[in-house]
């Protein structure tokens, strides 16, 4: 007579077989529902493998889209107030200490970007939380880059985004792109359109057929910045990197130089270099490689803080090399 343990083992085996058959039937039903032919265990594995890969790819795609969406969120750039001595009409109170502003003239200072009114001595203690208002920030060109993006609540200056989109949609194969100059009067028209209409400015092919007008407007925006895209503070470190002969050390120094840029400047530079990298991929048609683009954009993005004209002239070759290195190593540096 079989022992109690033997009966228990058989019962467990039957349950396992039943479960296996049930899972097999579910698998067969799913395969049949998908319109696949049933077959041997080997063919079943062959069928299931692509399904698993498809599911994994869909999940990966969802994660990637979520990450991109998160990356596109507008960052909170820090900005100092742009205080200027101001004479207030009528009684005024300091918005920092809440005390009365005494005097008949020049009672305090006012932020030209957000309109904050404070005592001159209080302005030294106000945190860097300026939130520029469009009623105060009335220009696009010649406006501080961080001020512009905060006023328009964008990640980068809309001029850069709009011009690059237009150039990439219809101009990547244009011979001498960025090297050939557009008609200066029409470039000024684009500038005035941005100053007047902001992101509603029309720079389409219907308005400006010559793509060199759009490239000229983009270069003019960078030249007109009161603080260059590669700031005066970071300039010496960038020039230092261009003088280094060892490639690894050169990239390391360049990476350190990028950390010195304000976040809005660094993000705009990253976006521009990615665009210029795409321009070089069409070199056979547009004849513009990284070296040629470096010659064009070096003096456009960098201005020497030195007043010595000879020193600034000597830096031009290093400015070109900095931009060339940024384009070639865009995927590593940013």
Which pair of structure tokens corresponds to residue 266?
């660094």
In a domain, 268, yes or no: yes
Contacts of 287 (CB under 8 A, 6+ apart): 175, 176
Shared domain for 82 and 200, answered yes or no, is no
Residues 85, 132 within the same domain: yes
Query: Are 168 and 313 within one domain?
Result: yes
Over residues 101-128, the mean pLDDT reads 87
Is residue 318 within 8 A of residue 239, CB to CB? The reply is: yes
Which residues in 211-242 are b (16+ Cβ under 10 Å) and which e? bbbbbbbbbbbbeebeebbbbeebbebbbbbb
List pLDDT tens digits, range 228-274. Answer: 999 999 999 999 999 999 999 999 999 999 999 999 999 999 999 99
Helical spans, DSSP H, in the chain: 4-33, 41-71, 145-151, 158-170, 184-197, 211-224, 235-243, 247-258, 263-280, 283-286, 290-301, 309-314, 316-328, 330-333
Q: Report pLDDT digits (tens) over 156-207.
A: 999 999 999 999 999 999 999 999 999 999 999 999 999 999 999 999 999 9
105 and 198 in a single domain? The answer is: no
Please state, in angstroms and rounded to a whole number, the distance separating the CA atoms of residues 302 and 312.
10
Whether residue 22 lies inside any domain: the answer is no
Q: Are residues 239 and 305 in the same domain?
A: yes
**128 with 191, same domain?**
no
Residue 10: predicted pLDDT: 47
- State the residue for tokens 């070759």: 317
> What is the domain range of residue 269?
158-332
Are residues 290 and 169 part of one domain? yes
Q: Is residue 84 part of a domain?
A: yes
Give percent above pLDDT 90 in the chain: 56
User: Are residues 181 and 89 part of one domain?
Assistant: no
Query: What would you measure as the largest C-alpha separation in the chain, in angstroms?
Result: 115
State the CATH number of the domain containing residue 198.
Answer: 1.10.555.10
Count how many domains the chain has: 2
Give the residue-averaged pLDDT of 284-302.
Answer: 97
Q: Do residues 169 and 267 share a domain?
A: yes
Same domain, 195 and 275: yes
What per-residue confidence (pLDDT) applies to 295? 97
Residue 141 inside a domain? The answer is no
Task: Please check whether residue 94 lies inside any domain of the structure.
Answer: yes
Q: Which of 47, 226, 209, 70 is nearest to 144 (CA)?
A: 226
> Is position 18 within any domain?
no
16 versus 305: the higher-pLDDT residue is: 305
Strand order in the sheet with 83-86: 83-86, 108-111, 117-118
Say whether both 131 and 172 belong to one domain. Answer: no
Adjacent-strand bridge partners of 86:
108
For residue 298, the model assigns a pLDDT of 97
Q: In the structure, what pLDDT confidence band is assigned to residue 79 with cuts at 50, 70 and 90?
A: confident
pLDDT > 70: what percent of the chain? 78
| pLDDT in the model for residue 27 | 54
Structural domain contains residue 23: no
Residue 10 lies in a domain: no
Give pLDDT tens digits for 16-73.
545 555 555 555 544 444 444 444 444 444 445 544 444 444 444 444 444 444 445 6
d(CA 163, CA 201): 11
Residue 103 and residue 82: Cα distance in Å, rounded?
Answer: 22
- Is the model more confident about 80 or about 291? 291
| CATH code for position 97 | 3.30.60.20
Yes or no: say if 138 and 151 are a contact pair by the CB < 8 Å rule. no
pLDDT at 52: 47
Same domain? For 105 and 251 the reply is no
d(CA 280, CA 263): 26
pLDDT at residue 109 is higher than 60: yes
């Amino acid at each position: 007579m079989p022992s109690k343990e033997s009966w228990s083992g058989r019962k467990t085996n039957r349950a396992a077989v039943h479960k296996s058959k049930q899972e097999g039937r579910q698998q067969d039903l799913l395969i049949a529902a998908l319109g696949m032919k049933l077959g041997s265990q080997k063919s079943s594995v062959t069928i299931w493998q692509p399904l698993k890969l498809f599911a994994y790819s869909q999940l990966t795609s969802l994660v990637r889209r979520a990450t991109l969406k998160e990356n596109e969120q507008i960052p909170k750039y820090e900005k100092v107030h742009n205080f200027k001595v101001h004479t207030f009409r009528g009684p005024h109170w300091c918005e920092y200490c809440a005390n009365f502003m005494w005097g008949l003239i020049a009672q305090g200072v006012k932020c030209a970007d957000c309109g904050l009114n404070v005592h001159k001595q209080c302005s030294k203690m106000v945190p860097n939380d300026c939130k520029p208002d469009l009623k105060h920030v009335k220009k696009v060109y010649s406006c501080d880059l961080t001020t512009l993006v905060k006023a328009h609540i964008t990640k980068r200056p809309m001029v850069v985004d709009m011009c690059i989109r237009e150039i990439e949609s219809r101009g990547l194969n244009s011979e001498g792109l960025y090297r050939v100059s557009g008609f200066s009067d029409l470039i000024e028209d684009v500038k005035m359109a941005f100053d007047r209409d902001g992101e509603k400015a029309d720079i389409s092919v219907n308005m400006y057929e010559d793509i060199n007008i759009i490239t000229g407007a983009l270069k003019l925006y960078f030249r007109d910045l009161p603080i260059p895209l590669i700031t005066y503070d970071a300039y010496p470190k960038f020039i230092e990197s261009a003088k280094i002969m060892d490639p690894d050390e050169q990239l390391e120094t360049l990476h350190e130089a990028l950390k010195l840029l304000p976040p809005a400047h660094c993000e705009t530079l990253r976006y521009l270099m990615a665009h210029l990298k795409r321009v070089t991929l069409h070199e056979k048609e547009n004849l513009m490689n990284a070296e040629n683009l470096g010659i064009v954009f070096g003096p456009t993005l960098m201005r020497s803080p030195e007043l010595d004209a000879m020193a600034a002239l000597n830096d031009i070759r290093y400015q070109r090399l900095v931009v060339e290195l940024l384009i070639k190593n865009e995927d590593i540096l940013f």
